[in-house]
Amino acid sequence: MSNPSKNGARRLMRLTPTNAFIELGDSLGLWRLWLSMGWSDIKQRYRNSVLGPFWLASGLALTIAGMSLLYSQILHVAFQDFAPYLAAGLMIWSFIASVATESCHSYVLAEGLIKSLQVPYFVYIFRVVARNLIVLAHNLVVVAIIWVVFGKVMDIKPLETLAGIALLTLFSIGMATVFASLGAMFKDFIQIVTQVFQILIFVTPVFWLTKAISPRSAFLHLNPFYYLMEVVREPLLGTTPTAFVFTGAVGFTFASLIAGIIAYAVSRKSVVFYV
């Protein structure tokens, strides 16, 4: 009989296979590795900090409070309705933007590991997503407090919210894989992504209400982040996402994963030379 521990070590140290799907499966099997790496990144980032990741959560809380007071007046929406809407939107957008920018350097920052540890490169993608999921969990504390204050807890649709978060996570994995490959080849790519996302936040319904513009607007239909935003935010606010929104979220998620697989298959043999 084979020894499970030896099989695990052999699986960890073997050369990465030529098939990207096999590497993806191997990386999922190494979930303890990339999850511990993501957690270690959080601890390193906030070493000797009193609040740790909750500094981000506190910053999110202050942003929500200030912008809710302002935008609720501009948009003529009741503060108690706009604050939860904005809180959910900012929480989701912070996750998307952080995964996008951090993934650009996911291979570059892991140069030492890539050249010394023979594991699939998907591990470093999952590391970035896991790290930001941990931050998302901290930000959920702020959202939970807002929901309690404004009496929104009983409105949450938990199963639909979890389904939305699952789609958001899968979409982020595909996006991160594409951005990691491009970021390894083009060192200035992160600057492009940062500037693009600074613009996208204003054309994505984070601050403004979707009902404020025509439902036929290209800002909505051609923006994948609209669907991923709404498929999580609407269940949090007690509303079931429409079939149009859910279908769009699923479609863009599959497109993101397919693009990620293609980018990985094309670049995986040359990543070690770029970093």
Whether this prediction's pTM lies above 0.85 is answered by yes
> pLDDT by residue (tens digit) across 96-115?
999 999 999 999 989 888 88
The percent of residues above 70 in pLDDT, for the chain, comes to 87
Task: Tell me the pLDDT tens digit for each residue of 123-160.
Answer: 999 999 999 999 898 888 888 889 998 888 888 999 99
Cα distances (angstroms) measured from residue 259 to each of 31, 44, 175, 179, 226: 22, 32, 8, 10, 19
Quick one: which of 118, 56, 75, 66 has its CA closest to 208? 75
What are the phi and psi torsion angles at 93 (to 5°)?
Answer: -65, -40
d(CA 207, CA 88): 10
Confidence check: pLDDT of 69 > 50: yes
232-240 mean pLDDT: 94
Mean confidence (pLDDT) of the chain: 86
Radius of gyration of the chain (CA): 20
